[in-house]
Amino acid sequence: MVFSSLEFLLGFLPCLLVIYFIIPAKVRWLRNLVLLAFSLFFYQWGADQLVLLMVASILVNYLGGLMAGRRDHPVLAKFGVWFAAVLGLGLLGWFKYAGFLAQTVCDLGFAIPVPHITLPIGISFFTFQGLSYVIDVYRGDAPTQKNPLDVALYVALFPQLVAGPIVRYTTVMEDITHRRETLDEFAAGVTRFCFGLAKKMVIANAMGQIADGVFNQTAANLDPGLAWVGALAYTFQIYFDFSAYSDMAIGLGRMFGFHFLENFNYPYISKSVTEFWRRWHISLSTWFRDYVYIPLGGNRCVKWKHVRNITVVWLLTGLWHGAAWTFILWGVWFCLLLLGEKFLWGGVLNKTPALVRHGYTMLAVVISWVLFRSVDLPQAWAYLGAMFGQTTGLAQDGQAAYYLLEYWPEWLLAIVASLPVKGWLQEKLKQGGNLGQTILIWAPKGLALGLLGLSYLKLVTSSFNPFIYFQF
C-alpha cells in the first residue's frame, strides 16, 4: 500500500481518521494504540510476514533504550547501545547485503551459495530511526521511554515508516504523549498532503515514464540528445518522487498532531555540491553527520583524519542506498566532489559567477543520478558514454523531440516547482494588505482541492505509480 493508491486514499486513511477521532483526545493512550495498530497493518500490507521483523526491531530498540539509560551502570548502558546496534545493523546487513557480498565472492572465483533474500521495505529507514533513539538515550539527549507502546509508535508510525524522513525521537517525543490535534493543523496537513500527492502523480510519474522509456533501451545505441533527456527526466523524477513522499508524510503527521522536520529545501538551486547536500534528504545527511561524522572527529582533527571521516561517511551513504557497485560508486563520486570543494577548488568555485556554479553543480548531480539509476556498472558507463557522444548511436526516430513535446507541460511544471516560487509568492502576498492576506490563507486550500481532483484522475487512468525510495 502506498499513499498514492486508491486503497490508501479511499480505504485505509478514511477508516483510520474516523476511528481515531471518535476516541476522545484525553484518552491519548487509546489514540496511540489505534495509530500503532493501523501502522503495523500498513506495513504488513506490503511486507506480509516480514512485519515480524518490524516487531523485532521495536523490541530490540526498546530493550536497548532501557539499558542505555542506566547511567548508574555505565557498562550496562554501553552494552545497551551495542545490543541495539549489533542486532539492528545485523538484521539490516543480512537482509540487504548478504546476497550482494556472496555474489561478489562468487565473482572472484569462489563457489559459495548466494542467498536469495526478500528485502523488507523501508528497513534502512526504521533501522536508523530506532538506533538513533538508543544512542540519544545513551548520550542523555533523550529520556528513557519505559512505555513500550510509545517506542513502538515512534518506530512504526506509518507516515514516515517506509521512506522517511528519518525522524529523531527528540523531535516527536512530546507529540507522542502530549500532542494537540486542531482543525487548523489538520487543514494544514491535508493541504500539504495534497500538494505532495500532485507532485507525485502529475510530475514524478510523468518523468518516470520518460526515464524508464530511455533507460530500458540499450545504452550503447542511444544518441546524446535522447540520453540527456532520459538523464534529466530521472533527475526530476527522483526529486519529485522522494520529496512528494516527504510532503505527504509531513502532511499526514500534522493531521494527527505530529511535526516532522523538513527533508528537502529546493536542492536544484544549489551552487555547489556541498550546498546540494545541505538541501537534499536532510534527515539522512544530519543522521550521518551526528552519528558517524562527528563521533569520528568531524573536521576538528588533522587533515588526513578529516579526509578519512568524509570518505567513511560517503562510502556508508552509498551502501545505505543499496547493495550494488553502482551505489558504492555513487557514494565515491560525491565523496570526491566534496573533498575537492573542501580542499582543492572550493575557493575558486566561490569566485566564479553564480550561473557557472549552478551549472557545475547540476552537471555533477545529473551524472550521479545516472549511476544511481543504472542497473549495473556496464550500463552506467555506456549511458554516460552516450551522453557525452562516445557511442555510435544514431537519432532514435525523434524520440528525444517526442518526449520533450509530448510532455512539455510536465517539463515546465518540473522546472518551476524546483524553484522557490512558493516563498516568493508568499512574500509578495504578505505585502499586499488585507487582500493579500486573504489570498494567502485561502488560495493554498483551494488549490490543494483542485490538485487532489487532478491527482485522483491521474490515479484512476494510469498504472504507472512506483515509489523509488521503497527499495531502501
**Catalytically annotated residues:** 321
Return the number of other C-beta atoms located less than 10 Å from residue 63's C-beta: 17
Return the number of other C-beta atoms located less than 10 Å from residue 48's C-beta: 11
Q: Which are the contacts of 58, defined by CB distance < 8 A and separation ≥ 6?
A: 130, 148, 151, 152, 155, 156
Is the Cβ–Cβ distance between 319 and 327 less than 8 Å?
yes
Return the number of other C-beta atoms located less than 10 Å from residue 123's C-beta: 21
Is residue 165 reached through a cis peptide bond, with omega within 30 degrees of 0 on the bond before it? yes
**Burial of 376 by CB count in 10 Å (0-12 exposed, 13-18 middle, 19+ buried)?**
exposed
Burial per residue of 69-107, b for 16 or more beta-carbon CB atoms within 10 angstroms, e otherwise = bbeeeeeebeebbebbbebbeebbeebbbebbebeeeee
Selection from 250, 246, 249 nearest residue 266 by Cα: 246
- The span from the CA of 60 to the CA of 413, in Å, is 45
Residue 165 C-alpha from the chain's centroid? 6
- The span from the CA of 406 to the CA of 206, in Å, is 10
- The span from the CA of 168 to the CA of 368, in Å, is 28
Place of cell 536542492: 267
Q: Name the CA radius of gyration of the chain, rounded.
A: 23
DSSP for 87-155, written as a single string? HHHHHHHHHHHHHHHHHHHHHTT--------PPPTTHHHHHHHHHHHHHHHHHTSS-----HHHHHHHH
How close are the terminal C-alpha atoms of the chain, in Å? 16
Q: Which three cell numbers stand for residue 436?
A: 493579500
Q: Where are the alpha helices (DSSP H) in 115-265?
A: 123-139, 148-156, 169-178, 183-198, 205-215, 224-255
- The span from the CA of 191 to the CA of 252, in Å, is 10
Place of cell 539527549: 141
Q: What angle do CA 127, 131, 133 make, to 5 degrees?
A: 125
- The span from the CA of 257 to the CA of 186, in Å, is 8
